[in-house]
């Protein structure tokens, strides 16, 4: 088992470019596993943790419904936004500047083979990170991601999640709203739930901005703690 993870900060990167990069790392890990099985070898598989911000983009998961995108192609252009149908789970979501997106490309056989546990671990990383801002992040029964005030009629979603896994190798991940322009969520039915209220760290703390670099450092530290791993 290899619990060493290579961390890569991609900065601000076009969604398709980052998706292609994810796919390249994902395919490399899968090929190693296939070769190990074919040749009865035991070459260690690498793990990666990518952090990135994207220009305005809407993505629709494989189980999503196009009707949850509330604007047409012309309006997308007017909003300087792009749109992609992608191969993760979940419905529609938005990514944009001020939102920290995490893409763990892990061989779960280096950790544990349980997708539900993996999602709960990702949620725990976010919950621990929010504690540093005195924000109580919570799980919302039957829904992935991290929420606030789940016992109220209108819980607020602060972090969306959607993953893909094949041969126990993961891609895609989470999107934590830090300073993101929440108006862009008005163009979709987030995650296909019409009563979703989306929030951010800056909104919850009533600040104009929060330090994205600090949040990234907290995410890195908490990711290692939760997954009992180390960066290389």
Of residues 69, 106, 108, 191, which has the active-site annotation? 191
Helices of type H across 159-211: 201-204
Q: Residue 111 — φ and ψ, nearest 5°?
A: -125, -65
pTM of the model: 0.94
pLDDT in tens, 179-230: 999 999 999 886 655 556 899 999 999 999 999 999 999 999 999 999 999 9
The pLDDT score that the predictor gives to residue 98 is 97
Structure token digits, residue 167 = 């041969």
| Residue 159 annotated among the catalytic residues of the structure | no
User: From the centroid of its chain, how far is CA 204?
Assistant: 20
pLDDT in tens, 58-113: 998 887 888 888 988 899 999 899 998 988 877 888 999 999 999 999 999 999 99
> Looking at the domain 4-225, which fold is it?
BirA Bifunctional Protein; domain 2 (3.30.930)
pLDDT in tens, 4-44: 999 999 999 999 999 999 999 999 999 999 999 999 999 99
> What's the DSSP call for residue 152?
S
């Amino acid at each position: 088992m290899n619990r060493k993870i290579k961390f890569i900060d991609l900065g601000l990167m076009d969604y398709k470019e980052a998706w292609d990069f994810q796919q390249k790392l994902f395919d490399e890990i899968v090929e190693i596993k296939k070769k190990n099985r074919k040749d009865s070898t035991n070459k260690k598989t690498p793990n990666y943790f990518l952090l990135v911000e994207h220009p305005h983009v809407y993505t629709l998961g494989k189980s999503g419904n196009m009707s949850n995108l509330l604007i047409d192609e012309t309006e997308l252009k007017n909003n300087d936004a792009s749109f992609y149908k992608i191969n993760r789970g979940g419905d529609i979501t938005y990514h944009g500047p001020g939102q920290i997106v995490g893409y763990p490309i892990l061989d779960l056989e280096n950790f544990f083979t349980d997708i539900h546990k993996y999602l709960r671990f990702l949620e725990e990383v976010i919950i621990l990170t929010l504690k540093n801002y005195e924000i109580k992040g919570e799980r919302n029964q039957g829904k992935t991601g991290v929420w606030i005030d789940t016992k109220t009629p209108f819980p607020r979603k602060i972090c969306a999640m959607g993953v893909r896994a094949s041969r126990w190798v993961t891609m895609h991940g989470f999107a934590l709203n830090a300073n993101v322009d929440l108006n862009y969520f008005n163009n979709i039915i987030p995650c296909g739930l019409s009563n979703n209220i989306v929030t951010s760290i800056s909104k919850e703390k009533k600040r104009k901005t929060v330090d994205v670099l600090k949040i990234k450092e907290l995410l890195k530290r908490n990711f290692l703690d939760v997954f009992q791993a180390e960066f290389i």
